[in-house]
Chains A and B, each alone.
Chain A
Amino acid sequence: MSREITSKNIDDKLKQKIREISGEIVQQCMQCGTCSGSCPMIEHLDYSPRLLMALLQWGQAEKVLGSNTAWICASCHVCQARCPRGVEIPRVMEAVRLLKLRANVNHIEPSNLQPEEIIDLPQIAMVSGFRKMTS
């Protein structure tokens, strides 16, 4: 990815928005990468949790919102449990998701689930999936 940062691509409100939603201060991250080393989804993310935190620190809204990272996150909290800086990264991921969901945009469409999937899915999967990924 391009990591060029210019005055044109910095969203200086991004950190504040994330803080308002999550209560977390992304600047507290010291980029140690423990989260990325712990994340069970790491090989499937286009930006690792560490890199996502960096992009947030740099106000790279477009990259953050365009990445799959928050949408693959399963809120397992292992990053939070191990973060030496006490950053509650799952909350940051939730805030990133909510930036999209609160604009009334669904990430998954309940209506598009196939009947053969719904027959098998336990209720707990749909309740949790819809909570995390629908607006």
Chain B
Amino acid sequence: MSKLLEVKDLVIKFALRTGEVTATNGVSFTLNKGERLGLVGESGAGKSVTGFSIINLISKPGYIASGEVDFLGENLAKVSDERMRSIRGNRISMIFQDPMMTLNPVLTIGTQMTETLHQHNPNMSKEEARNIALDKLCKVYIPSPEKRLAQYPHEFSGGMRQRIIIAIALLTGPELIIADEPTTALDVTIQAEIMELLMELCETEDMGLLLITHDLAVVGQVTQNIAVMYAGSVVEKGLTAQVIANPQHPYSQGLIAALPQSSKHGERLNQIPGMMPTLKDIPPGCAFNPRCSHVMDICKTETPCLRLGENGNLVACHLYPESE
């Protein structure tokens, strides 16, 4: 399998008035062609910022301080704005979190679909763009798509809007889709439907998927690989099945134990004690050490590098011996 996306030692900083803050500290992961990777962690772990950094759309004071975003052999962290623009929405599509906020309220669905096509294919005729849009709406099971093209976002439900956003993501036949919590804002019955659809389309269209979520259940169903993030770093990565069945890092163990289905009926739900540190006061050593039940002296002084865990996962924890 050939590499589609390789993120190497990505460091993202935010230049705030009070000083610089590091949002991600050397994040690395690889996504092969047609593969699905889940990026999981609590809120504020740096998942979304990592996702946005791939297409260079980090919100203002943030910037890529160092590291590489290698997309099909091209370092996206270094390309020109014009080149980046031709990749966004064309080779790499994004699906945002809240479908109620993502579509422009004053433009028709048709306009919002065809504009992407015209932008990336200046010579495409209106007719052709319309036909492609109709085809993609069919693919996401929107009934009577001809009528729908002339409608405005407020005429659709949340689930329908997210389908339309998926259809927009498909328009140009991208190699990679970055989905930032695509089902968080939807109700539970719709969530499963949307995830199912996304997975099916990734398979039929042979697209890579970077799924950013805090929902381990979703990651377990959809992805082959997983990277667990904590306080701006990847703490564990490997095959999804392995990580969920046999998590190595104490943080991953805590996350999986916290799933409601792993507690018995009538018992208190499991939780990881404490809170994730804010970006400004990440403790020295392993960032997880104040919340870790296996904490050792070394954890408070030395940041662990990634090493091999018991089942082939890579894990950043001093509990495991450093591999050569």
Q: Bound pair: A and B?
A: no
Q: Measuring CB to CB, which residues of chain A are less than 8 angstroms from any residue of chain B? A: none
Q: Measuring CB to CB, which residues of chain B are less than 8 angstroms from any residue of chain A? A: none
